[in-house]
Amino acid sequence: MICLPNKKNFTPSGKIMSDKRISVGLVQIAPVWLNRDATIDKIVSWIDKAAAEGCTLVVFGEALLPGYPFWVERTDGARFDSALQKSLYAHYVSQAVCVENGDLEQISAAARKHGISIYLGTIERASDRGGHSLYCSMVYIDAAGTIGSVHRKLMPTYEERLVWAIGDGNGLQTHRVGPFTVGGLNCWENWLPLARASLYALGEDLHVAIWPGSERNTADITRFIARESRSFVVSVSGLMRREDIGAALPHADALADAADDLMANGGSCVAAPNGEWVLAPQSGEESLYVVEIDHRRVLEERHSLDVAGHYSRPDVTRLIVNRKRQTTAEFLDNE
pLDDT confidence tier of residue 14, bands split at 50, 70 and 90 = very low
pLDDT higher than 50, residue 308: yes
Nearest CA among 176, 209, 247, 188 for reference residue 19: 176
**Which one is predicted more confidently, 330 or 106?**
106
Backbone angles phi, psi at 296, to 5 degrees: -65, -25
Q: Mean pLDDT throughout 307-327? A: 96
The answer for residues whose C-beta is within 8 angstroms of residue 335's C-beta and 6 or more apart is none
55 is catalytic: no
- pLDDT of the residue at 17: 42
pLDDT higher than 70, residue 144: yes
Nearest CA among 270, 266, 271 for reference residue 283: 266
Alpha carbons 311 and 1: distance in angstroms, whole number: 40
- C-beta separation of 85 from 92 below 8 A: no
CA angle 312, 315, 320 (to 5 degrees): 80
Share of the chain above pLDDT 90, in %: 93
Of 62, 160, 204, 228, the catalytic one is 62
pLDDT confidence tier of residue 170, bands split at 50, 70 and 90 = very high
Of 153, 160, 292, 301, the catalytic one is 153
86 is catalytic: no
Alpha carbons 204 and 201: distance in angstroms, whole number: 7
- C-beta separation of 271 from 223 below 8 A: yes
187 is catalytic: yes
Q: Which residues of 140-156 are buried (b: 16+ CB within 10 A; e: fewer)?
A: bbbbebebbbbbbbbeb
**Which one is predicted more confidently, 271 or 330?**
271
Q: What is the mean pLDDT of the chain?
A: 94
DSSP sequence for 76-94: TTT-TT-HHHHHHHHHHHH
- C-beta separation of 28 from 239 below 8 A: yes
pLDDT confidence tier of residue 4, bands split at 50, 70 and 90 = low
Nearest CA among 82, 103, 81 for reference residue 93: 103
The winner for highest mean pLDDT among 8-17, 162-171, 323-332 is: 162-171
- pLDDT of the residue at 162: 97
Domains in the chain: ranges and CATH: 2-302 (3.60.110.10)
The answer for residues whose C-beta is within 8 angstroms of residue 84's C-beta and 6 or more apart is 75, 76, 251, 254
CA distances (Å), origin 233, targets 18, 126, 171, 210, 255: 20, 29, 18, 10, 34
Taking only the tens place, the pLDDT of each residue in 218-232 is 999 999 999 999 999
* Whether the predicted model's global pTM rises above the 0.85 cut: yes
